[in-house]
Amino acid sequence: MENDLLFTLSTKSEWKQFSSSGNFEPESLKEKGYVSCYHGPQIEKAANDLQTEESELLLIVIDPLKLQVPLKNEKIGTEVFPNLYGAFSIDAVIDRIILKKSKKGIFAVRVKHFD
């Protein structure tokens, strides 16, 4: 399976730490051994499954061609997730998009792929 863009989620405070260190190294890397990433259609569910009190999240857009760490597409349940096994340079981040909770308290995200 070829990966066009990868996505992961963060908070603004975490992003400040990453940008000052130059490496994207979230707590999940220490806890699970990998950085959880998603394909476009998986983002909304992932954001809402975080059970965060944050009213905003950052959607981090990653160019997989700029990664220097192993990327493994792994089946979890019925879905395949692209997981990154190691901290990576923030040079691989090509965009950060603010996601805000709606009045209903959920994140709504629509990512469309265009060839």
Judge whether residue 45 has pLDDT over 80.
yes
- Tens-digit pLDDT profile for residues 63-101: 999 999 999 999 988 999 999 999 999 999 999 999 999
Q: HEC profile for the chain? A: CCCCCEEEEECHHHHHHHHHHCEECCHHHHHHCCECCECHHHHHHHHHHCCCCCCEEEEEEECHHHCCCCEEEEEECCEEEEEECCCEEHHHEEEEEEEEECCCCCECCCCCCCC
